[in-house]
Chains A and B, each alone.
Chain A
Amino acid sequence: MFKLIPRENVSPVLSLLGPLFSVGLTMIVGGILFYFLGVDPFAAIKMIFWDPLMSETFSTYSIPQIFIKGAPLILIALGLSVGFKANVWNIGAEGQYIMGAIFGASFALSLYPLESIVIFPAMILIGVIGGCLWSMIPAFLKVKFQVNEILVSLMLVYVAEQILALASLGFLRNPDGAGFPGSRNLNQYTSASNAEIIAGTGIHLGVLLSLLMVIFFYVLLFRHSLGFKIKLLGNSPKASGFSGDNPNKLIFLCLTLSGSLAGLAGIMEVAGPAGQINIDFNVGYGFTAIIVAFLGRLNPIGIFFAGIVMALTYVGGELTQFMLNLPAAAIQVFQGMLLFFLLSFDLFVHYKIKLKGNK
């Protein structure tokens, strides 16, 4: 048997070690899984974690891809992490991401083929508003009627997916698209295209914004009193009220902030890498971002690295799909496993473990 002894202060070394340890453990257990799937575990692990960065054949394509896939993850995870700190669980970022894309794209496409310099910033703003409005539903219901935000935000993902279908097959369908589902391609509409900012890489404004947001959130959480208020609420709503804060306002803020960022990620994606609104537009970034937020220990700098690691598993996962015929779902298992290890490791961050010597 063992004994748990609470630590006097949270060990910073262990906080850092946790994610690293979890990634390592995931590689080992994942390797075992690959073996049972009939795939050479060493080749698969190398292809996921090493080849995208180091292989001459793949890296010129993969490295920018990591940032492109990392950007939405980081943007969404930053927003979610603020809520998670406050014990506010928006797990419907996927829906807010979709709605951001639909709002922004609808605006831009309604002006097609008008060209103007204001369309692009306005489209982004409207995308953000779309995500924000979608998150306002759970926020309002939570604050006004104490309805569980987890369930509402999640239900709204399914609703958003139906709206996405509605848009791709109906109101946003490309009139020149020969009846195929999907909207006009925004990349072919100069004023609305989220074009690459470094030629030939595909790196777009969203990548840059994701980096800026990391800094912004770092300052907000660790240097500003609002960040403290959020942390206080998450640790003790009673102490938050005693301090004089209005928990409802903070809850509302956390939810709408994360919704806005998810909306931002959505509009960046649809106007950039994805190009168009279509039924399969969303690929689960909103859910993976939950893992990213935890892997980054709800710390903006951590989230940056976690986003990169998670993007690496996506890019590497695609490689293994191509080269080794590894099923796509294997990467999802991989990500779920990572989160398990990470959450378990928290025990060591908060407690010292002492083995009980039986006399």
Chain B
Amino acid sequence: MDLSEINFAVLVASLIVASTPLVLAALGELIVEKSGVLNLGVEGMMIIGAVAGFIVGVETGSAYIGMMAAAMAGALLSLLFAFIILIMQANQVASGLALTIFGLGIAALMGHPYTGIKSPQISTISIPFISEIPVLGTMFFQHDLIVYLSLISVLVIWYFLNRMRAGLIVRSVGEDHDVAHSLGYRVVTIRFLAITFGGAMAGVGGGYLSLVRVPQWTEGMTAGAGWIALALVVFSGWRPFRLLIGAYIFGGITILQLNLQAIGVNINIALLSMAPYLATILALVVISMSRFRGNRGAPGCLGRSFVKIT
């Protein structure tokens, strides 16, 4: 074992890449939950994004077009969920699970002929001057467009929720849909939009996995990333910046674990592979223990059906 083989700057850079799918999917889910909807189908939407992004990427030869297709595929699948819970009033937990099962199946079906193919490359954009800074430049400023976009999304979503009227409306719908309705807001429409946005973000997250992070298509390749994204939302206390930090900590554990495997540390691979999942559970426990009694931060109507009386 030789720990000096691990280059710290490269490690940080790769943890950012590893975390990006999580950041994207979790940010989407954050908005969905802020509007009062619990969509447990993140895993399903991510894998649909992964497969659709990969197929379109390979066929067009452009990773960017693939990424857009991934967003669309995720959004499309989330519309199905939106219809079932908002129009048909189905239980959100069960419907989210159905979405995951369905998405995994469809993705396996679609992706079968594409197994083992290489994806088109996505280019890194080195930000002039600052990317030249030793160590820091390698860590933060030599990434692809999607990484920068994910960071910008954190800022935008924070601004949207805390500084914009539209964000205030989304939050109010999530806190109390009956009151929001009595003020004249269209609860169902707002939630439809939020769910679709969440779907698109999960889709991009999945696309990033298959096109950049891995980059390859394998069945079931999300391997619980969607669920970890859900856990991150809880961990963040529904706050975008904490979500980013959580995702990077998580990405760090994953990358460290992979690096340890690569340099042949004398720990069983299976044990190392468990680490991310155990870390997620640990994070959930820590956050549940430390929070004020009464779950501050969770939207008041999270997971509840809205029935309009007409």
Indicate whether A and B are direct neighbours in the complex (CB within 8 Å). yes
- Interface stretch (choices A211-219, A265-273, A330-338): A330-338
| Cβ–Cβ contact B227 & A333, under 8 A | no
Task: Please determine whether B98 and A339 come into contact, CB atoms closer than 8 angstroms.
Answer: yes
Residue pair A335, B270 in contact (C-beta under 8 Å): no
Segment with Cβ contacts to A, from B7-15, B138-146, B175-183, B274-282: B274-282
Assembly CA distance A287 to B44 (angstroms): 14
Q: Judging by beta carbons under 8 Å apart, are A343 and B88 in contact? A: yes
Select B109's contact among A91, A329, A350, beta carbons within 8 Å.
A329
**CB distance B90 to A344 under 8 Å?**
yes
**Which of A119-127, A146-154, A245-253 binds B?**
A146-154
Contact present for B270 and A158 (CB under 8 Å)? no
Q: Is the CB of B84 within 8 A of A291?
A: no
Query: Is there contact, CB below 8 Å, between A343 and B285?
Result: no
Which residues from chain B contact A154 at a C-beta distance below 8 Å? 224, 227
B189 contacts A by Cβ under 8 Å: no
Name the interface residues of A311-359: CB closer than 8 Å to any CB of B.
327-337, 339-340, 343-344, 346-347, 350-351
Report the Cα distance A149→B231, complex, angstroms: 11
Residue of B at shortest CB range from A343? B90
Residue pair A151, B231 in contact (C-beta under 8 Å): yes
What is the minimal beta-carbon distance from A235 to any residue of chain B, in angstroms?
13
Q: How far is the CA of A333 from the CA of B100 in the complex (A)?
A: 10
Given contacts A4-B307, A332-B104, contact A339 B271 (CB under 8 A): no
Residue of B nearest to A151 (CB): B231
Residue pair B93, A287 in contact (C-beta under 8 Å):
no
Q: How far is the CA of A162 from the CA of B269 in the complex (A)?
A: 9
B298: shortest Cβ distance to chain A, in Å? 10
Q: Is the CB of A346 within 8 A of B89?
A: yes
- Determine if A147 and B284 form an interchain contact, defined as CB atoms under 8 angstroms apart: yes
The reply to whether B80 and A340 form a contact with Cβ atoms under 8 Å apart is yes
Contacts of B310 in A (CB 8 A): 3-4
* B102 and A147 within 8 A (CB): no
- The interface bits of chain B over 48-86 (1 if a CB of A lies within 8 angstroms of the residue's CB, else 0) are 000000000000000000000000000000001000100
Q: A339 touching B94 by the CB < 8 A rule?
A: yes
Q: Quick check: A146 and B108 within 8 Å, CB to CB?
A: no
Q: Does A290 contact B (CB under 8 A)?
A: yes
Closest to A329 in B: B108
Q: Could you tell me the distance in whole angstroms from the C-beta of A158 to the nearest C-beta in chain B?
A: 4
Contact across chains for B284 and A343 when beta carbons are under 8 A apart = no
Given contacts A330-B109, A335-B105, contact A344 B88 (CB under 8 A): yes
Inter-chain contacts of A170 with B (CB < 8 A): 268, 270
Considering the complex, give the chain A residue whose CB is closest to the CB of B93: A89
| Chain B residues, CB < 8 A from A340 | 80, 84, 95, 98, 102
Chain A residues, Cβ within 8 Å of B281: 137, 141, 147, 151-152, 155-156
Question: Bound complex: CA of A147 vs CA of B283, how far in Å?
Answer: 10
**Is B295 among interface residues, defined by CB-CB distance under 8 A?**
yes
A residues near B280, Cβ cutoff 8 Å: 151, 155
Within 8 A of B (CB), among A187-211: none
Bound-complex Cα distance A339 to B91 (A): 11
Chain A nearest CB, measured from B284 CB (Å):
5
A166 touches B270 (CB 8 A): yes
Contact-size category for B: 35 or more
Residues of A within 8 A of B98 (CB): 291, 336, 339-340, 343
Does A10 touch B at the CB level, under 8 Å?
no
A343 touches B105 (CB 8 A): no
Contacts of A351 in B (CB 8 A): 89
For residue A63, give the distance in angstroms from its CB to the closest CB of chain B. 26
Residues of chain B lying within 8 A (CB to CB) of residue A4: 89, 307, 310
CA of A340 to CA of B97, assembled, Å: 10
How close is A131's CB to chain B, nearest CB, in angstroms? Answer: 18
Given contacts A155-B280, A332-B108, contact A287 B101 (CB under 8 A): yes
Q: Which of B90, B101, B112, B295 contacts A291 (CB 8 A)?
A: B101
Q: Is the CB of B234 within 8 A of A346?
A: no
CA–CA, A336 and B80, complex, Å: 12
A137 to B88, CA, bound (A): 34
| Residues of chain A with a CB closer than 8 A to B227's CB | 151, 154-155
B289 contact set on A, CB distance < 8 A: 145
- One of A145, A156, A169 near B277 (C-beta < 8 A): A156
**Residue B230, interface by CB 8 Å:** yes
**Mask for B101-119, Cβ within 8 A of A = 1, else 0?**
1111111110010000000
The answer to whether the Cβ of B273 comes within 8 Å of any Cβ in the partner chain is: yes
Partner of B89, one of A162, A163, A331, A350: A350
Report the separation of the CA atoms of residues A291 and B97 in the bound assembly, to the nearest whole angstrom.
Answer: 9
Other-chain residue from A37, A147, A165 in contact with B288 (beta carbon distance below 8 A)? A147
A346 and B90: CB pair below 8 A?
yes
A29 to chain B, nearest CB (A): 11
Instruction: Check if B1 is an interface residue, CB within 8 A of chain A.
Output: no
The answer to whether B284 and A148 touch across the interface, beta carbons within 8 angstroms, is: yes
* Contact status of A151 and B270, CB under 8 A, knowing A344-B90, A346-B88: no
Going nearest first, the 4 A-B pairs with the smallest beta carbon separation are A336-B102, A332-B105, A329-B108, A333-B105
A residues in contact (CB < 8 Å) with B: 3-4, 37, 84, 89, 91, 137, 141, 145-148, 150-152, 154-156, 158-159, 162-163, 165-166, 169-170, 287, 290-291, 294, 327-337, 339-340, 343-344, 346-347, 350-351
Residues in B lying within 8 Å of A, measured CB to CB: 40, 80, 84, 88-91, 93-95, 97-99, 101-109, 112, 219, 223-224, 227-228, 230-231, 234, 268, 270-271, 273-274, 277-278, 280-281, 284-285, 288-289, 295, 307, 310
Q: Name 13 extra pairs, CB < 8 A, besides A37-B109, A159-B278, A343-B90.
A: A84-B94, A141-B281, A141-B288, A147-B288, A151-B280, A155-B228, A162-B274, A329-B219, A331-B105, A332-B101, A332-B108, A336-B99, A336-B104
16 residue pairs A–B, Cβ–Cβ below 8 Å: A89-B93, A137-B281, A152-B281, A152-B284, A156-B281, A159-B274, A287-B101, A290-B94, A328-B108, A329-B107, A330-B109, A332-B108, A336-B102, A337-B102, A343-B90, A347-B88
